[in-house]
Amino acid sequence: MRLATTTGDFSHVCKTEEAKVAELYAAGFRYIDMSFYDGDRSPLAHDDYLERVKRLRYFADGLEMKFVQAHSPSGNPLCTDSGLDDMLMYSIRSIEACAELGIKNTVLHAGWRDDIGRDEYFSLNREFFSRLYPAMERFGVSVLVENSAKINMGGRYYLYDGEDMADFLDYCGHPLLGGCWDTGHANIEGHQYEDIMALGSHLKAIHFNDNRGVYDEHIYPFCGTMSIDDIMHALIDSGYEGYFTLECSSNLRRSNSWLGHRRTSSRDDRLLNPPLELYRYQEKNLFKTAKYILEAYNLYEE
């Protein structure tokens, strides 16, 4: 199994996508998960976005690195305001950009809305995703829905387990629509193995990250309460053939982290945010840790 991580690991300390890729290379990674998560701060926000991603692929090719996965922009596909038009535009652009980068799978969160049940939830989300089908088919890029956790969604109905995800994907019935399993979200919900098994052949990608079982922290493996062994056995038993993709970008938190802002000092702020040097140290450790996990199960591939 090949090891990948997200360019989001350096989103707060690198100004260009090329700089992020260079940092991943220096840490040991050779496979890249391209983060378009903040669409308005990504290459997608520019009219020449395709030229920008072409240059980015050329840069990665020079390092003999490969783009293997992506995360499409954030947003709520079931919102009813003008934000939906922007989300649809950025989502389609991300599919086009994936084709330019050679990426076959991109993750896009399903939508949410208060006071709807399972049937309406499935119907409304299928309606949104169907608007992406023409671009998916034209460019040969699969869109993957992702499980979440109730702490993130405020109790709204969502895709919280593998069975619901499989049911939704069967309901949509499109061959280019698949699933991504986020291990951190699942750790909060308290189950992993049976969910991954329930997804079965629908599972095309993972987001591997840990937490302490309460909040969506996206920290490194062994820093939280997640059973790594349960996940590894599930990936093996389910026949998973995708990349071992990390999404552990919050071990070092910025001062304005959405999980809680750092307390400030009235006298100084030189240590308010971690510097690039510490991110580099952490990234090398992340690579070694994830490689150790894969080697423990004889799964690591160059």
Q: Give Cβ neighbours of residue 78 (< 8 Å, ≥ 6 apart).
A: 111, 112, 113, 124, 125, 128
Q: Give SS3 for 267.
A: coil
Q: Are 249 and 289 in contact (CB under 8 A)?
A: no
Q: Give SS3 for 175.
A: coil
Q: Give Cβ neighbours of residue 108 (< 8 Å, ≥ 6 apart).
A: 71, 72, 77, 91, 94, 129, 132, 143, 144, 145, 146
Q: Looking at residue 158, what is its pLDDT? A: 85
pTM, 2 dp: 0.96
Residue with tokens 């956790």: 149
Residue 65's alpha-carbon distances to 3, 5, 15, 184, in angstroms, are 12, 12, 20, 26
Which secondary structure element, helix H or strand E, spans residue 223, and what is its range? Answer: none
Q: Looking at residue 79, what is its pLDDT? A: 87
Measured CA to CA, the distance from residue 196 to residue 87 in angstroms comes to 29
Q: What structural domains and CATH numbers belong to the chain?
A: 3-255+269-296 (3.20.20.150)
Q: Looking at residue 159, what is its pLDDT? A: 94
- Written as tens digits, the pLDDT of the chain (302 aa) is 999 999 999 999 999 999 999 999 999 999 999 999 987 788 999 999 999 999 999 999 999 999 999 999 999 999 877 788 999 999 999 999 999 999 999 999 999 998 899 999 999 999 999 999 999 999 999 999 999 999 999 888 889 999 999 999 999 999 999 999 999 999 999 999 999 999 999 999 999 999 999 999 999 999 999 999 999 999 999 999 999 999 999 999 999 998 899 999 999 999 999 999 999 999 999 999 999 999 999 999 99
Q: Looking at residue 15, what is its pLDDT? A: 93
Measured CA to CA, the distance from residue 71 to residue 123 in angstroms comes to 23
